[in-house]
A and B are shown apart, each in its own frame.
Chain A
C-alpha cells in the first residue's frame, strides 16, 4: 500500500514546471519536454524554509518594538509602535478598525511564523499527524500571507497623503522590518514543499 502511495515510489518524477511525468529509471536531470530541472521534491525545501523563517523571526522583533509610524506635528514627533497604535485605536473607540489592525498586523504574522515553524518541526521530527489537516493549514498560511501587508499599505498611502509641511507622517524603522517579515514568511511558505508532510507518514 505504501509502495503505491506516490509517484516517486512507483518510479516517476513529475516535472515541477510542466507536470510531465519522467521515469526515474531514465536518470534524466532535465525535463525532456520543457528542459527545466527535474527533482522529486523541492530541493532543500526544509533548509530554505528554515532560513527564511529564522530571518522573519529576527526581523519580527524590531518590527514590534520600534515605531512603525511617526506623526510629525509642528516639529514634534509622535511615534507609534504597532501595538501602541492598536491600543490608541481601541482607546479612541474605533474597535472594529483596531481589531482589523490587530488581526492583520499581529495575529496573522505571528500565527504564520508559528504555523510554518510547526510544519518544519513536523517534517524534521517525522511527527505522525493528520497530514490532511496540516495541508489545509499550509494552504491557509500560503493564502493569507499577502493580506498581512495591510499596515504597510496604509502607511505608504498616509506618507504620501499627509504631507502638509506642518504635519508629516514618516515611516519608522519597524515598517521596513514588518514588510520584510511579511515577504520572508511568504517566501518561506512558498519554499515549503507540502508533499514532505506526506512522505513521512507511516499510517496512510
Chain B
C-alpha cells in the first residue's frame, strides 16, 4: 500500500507539462497587460493640454458634452464649468487634443456657436439639436493656456485668403459687420468692422475682399452703397436699379473696376477708398483741380444749399461749398458771400491761348458778360442752383470782398427781375391822382342820384295812368262778357241757330226763285208785259 503514496509518474508528468504549458499559458496575462497598457498609454498620450476659457455666460455649455471644434472637427471637450473669482463670468475648463497645443496661442480666439438668425442667413442650425459648441480660430503666437472668450463670433472665422481695405463714408446707414460686398453681383467679401475717424468727420469701414477678387481692387476702383431701390427718371423713361435681396434688407456695398486700370494698378492692403452713396454718384468723374470763387447775390438765398450745383447752360461744372452771412455794423449792409468751387477741367477749351491760367480765363469770360444767377431748380421744393450764362448788358458790381477768393459777378435772377418789374408797375399806380378822381366820381354820383329821383316821379305818374287803364279794362271786360252771352245763344244746337238755319234755307230758296225769275226775265223780257208764255 505504501507504493501508492509516491506515484512515480505524477512528478514526471507534471514536469513534462510544465515545460510544455508554462510559456503558452503565461502569454495570456502578457497579452492582457499589453492590451490594457496600450489602451491606457493611448488615452494618456492623446490627452492634450488643459485650457481655461473665460466666458460671460455658460448658456448652452455642458460639462463632458460641449465640444471644442475647429472647422467642424472636434479638437477638445469641456471638462468643467466654474464661476470665476470675480463672480461675474464663468471659467470653462477644456481638455484639448494633443495636436491642438501648437495653436493655442495668445491670439487664438474662442467663441460659443449658437443658432443665429440674421438677414444674411441662418447659421449654427445644427447646434439646435446637438447643443452649442465652442469654436476656435487658431492663430500663431506665444503659448497660452488661459483665454478670454468672445461675446460674438469674429467676422472672419477662418484664415481666408484675401485683402483688407478701408472705405471712408459719412453715413454708416444700415451697414455693419457682415454686410456683403458684391462685384458684378457676386458676393466677394464683407464688412469686418467700422470705426469713427479720429476727428469724427467720417466713418472708416474695414472690408475684406476674398482672394480671387481682391486683384480687382485697383487705383480707380469705385465703391458705392448698393442697398435699397434706385429709381431715376430720365429722358428715356424710368429706370429702376435694385441691389441683391439681402442688400435690400440689410444694406450692401458694391464696387466696379475702372476699365482703364491694368493689373499693375492693383493696390496694396489697407488702401483707403471713398464709399459713394449711390451708383450714380460713383459714376461721376472726380476732378482734383478746382478754382474757388465767391459770389454776392443781392437777394434771398433761401433754397440754396451747400452742394447745390453750378451749371453752365445746364451742364454741371462745380458746386456751392459755402454760404455765409456778413453784416457791416457801421453801414448795416447785409452781404451773402457764396463760395463756389468750379472744376475747370470739365470744360473743354477750344482756341485757348497758351499760358492762360484758369483765373485769367475767368476774368476774360467775365469781361465778355459771363454772370452768375440764382435759378429755381425745383418748383416743388424751391431748391436753388447757381446758373452761369452770358449777359452782355449786365454791369459788374464789385462788393467789399473779405473772403480772399476772387469775386465772380452776379446778375439778379429771373424771378427777381419779374419782381422788380412788378414793383415798377405798383410805383406807377401809386403815382396816379387818385383823390381828384374820387371827388369827380363823387360828383357824377350825386347828379346820377338827382336823375334817379326824377325817374321816380315819372314812375308815380305812370302808376296813375295804369289805374285808369285798369278801369278801362274792367269795362272792356263787361263788354266782353255780354258778347260772350250773345255768342252762347248762337251755339250749335240752340233754338236761335236752328231758326237762323231755317231762315237761311228759306232765304236761299227765295234767292234761287229770284234767280230763276231774273233768268226768265232776261230771256223773255216781254213776259213782264204779256205774262208767262204757256207752251
Contacts and interface: CB of A to CB of B under 8 A. Distances in A.
A, B in one complex: yes
Interface of A: 3, 8-13, 24-25, 27, 29, 39-40, 43-44, 47-48, 51-52, 54-56, 58-59, 61-62, 65-66, 73-76, 78-79, 166, 173, 177, 180, 184
Q: How large is the interface on B (under 10, 10 to 19, 20 to 34, 35 or more residues)?
A: 20 to 34
Given A59-B32, A177-B36, A180-B32, A51 B25 contact: yes
A40 B39 contact: no
Contact of B32 (A44, A56, A78): A56
B25 A48 contact: yes
A58 B36 CA distance: 6
A24 B4 contact: yes
A126 to B, nearest CB: 17
Contacts of A3: 1, 5
A55 B32 contact: yes
A184 B22 CA distance: 17
B32 A24 contact: no
A29 B130 contact: no
Contact of B21 (A12, A27, A48, A66): A48
Interface stretch (B8-16, B156-164, B212-220): B8-16
B233 interface: no
B353 interface: no
Nearest to B30: A55
Given A47-B22, A55-B31, A27 B9 contact: yes
A25 B4 CA distance: 7
B25 A29 contact: no
B4 A65 contact: no
Contacts of A24: 3-4, 7, 9
Given A9-B5, A58-B33, A43 B43 contact: no
Given A3-B1, A47-B25, A73-B130, 19 more contacts: A8-B7, A24-B3, A29-B13, A43-B13, A43-B14, A43-B21, A44-B17, A52-B25, A52-B28, A55-B32, A56-B32, A58-B29, A58-B33, A58-B37, A59-B32, A62-B39, A62-B40, A177-B39, A180-B32
A29 B21 contact: no
B64 interface: yes
B249 interface: no
Given A43-B21, A76-B67, A51 B28 contact: yes
Contact of A39 (B4, B13, B131): B13
B235 interface: no
A56 B65 CA distance: 32
Interface in B33-49: 33, 35-37, 39-40, 43
A43 B16 CA distance: 10
B28 A55 contact: yes
Interface of B: 1, 3-5, 7-10, 13-14, 17-18, 21-22, 25-26, 28-29, 31-33, 35-37, 39-40, 43, 64-65, 67, 126, 129-131
Given A10-B1, A51-B25, A55-B32, A65 B17 contact: no
Nearest to A40: B10
B17 A54 contact: no
Contacts of B4: 8-12, 24-25
Contacts of B18: 44, 47
A61 B41 CA distance: 13
Contacts of A61: 36, 40
12 contacts: A3-B5, A9-B5, A10-B4, A40-B7, A43-B17, A44-B18, A44-B25, A66-B39, A74-B129, A74-B130, A79-B64, A166-B129
B130 A51 contact: no
Given A56-B32, A61-B40, A180-B32, A78 B25 contact: no
Contact of B8 (A27, A55, A184): A27
Contacts of B22: 44, 47
A105 to B, nearest CB: 17
A43 B8 CA distance: 15
Nearest to B22: A47
Contacts of A180: 32
A172 to B, nearest CB: 11
A47 B13 CA distance: 15
A150 to B, nearest CB: 22
Nearest to A59: B32
A76 B32 contact: no
A55 B31 CA distance: 8
A43 B10 CA distance: 10
Nearest to A7: B4
A3 B18 CA distance: 27
Contacts of A76: 65, 67, 130-131
B36 A62 contact: yes
A10 B18 CA distance: 26
Contacts of A48: 21, 25
Contacts of A40: 7, 10
Contacts of B31: 55
A44 B39 contact: no
7 shortest interchain CB distances as A-B pairs: A11-B4, A54-B29, A55-B32, A58-B32, A74-B130, A74-B129, A55-B29
Contacts of A79: 64
B130 to A, nearest CB: 4
A190 B368 CA distance: 127
A133 B139 CA distance: 69
Nearest to A187: B28
A13 B4 CA distance: 10
Given A73-B130, A74-B130, A59 B36 contact: yes
A177 B4 CA distance: 46
A44 B28 CA distance: 15
Contacts of A54: 29, 32-33
A27 B3 CA distance: 12
Contacts of A62: 35-36, 39-40
A21 to B, nearest CB: 12
A47 B14 CA distance: 11
A2 to B, nearest CB: 10
A48 B37 CA distance: 22
A173 B39 CA distance: 8
A25 B18 CA distance: 23
Nearest to B8: A27
B40 A65 contact: yes
Contacts of B26: 47, 51
Contacts of B129: 74, 166
Contacts of A39: 13
A190 to B, nearest CB: 13
A75 B17 contact: no
Contacts of B33: 54-55, 58
A66 B32 contact: no
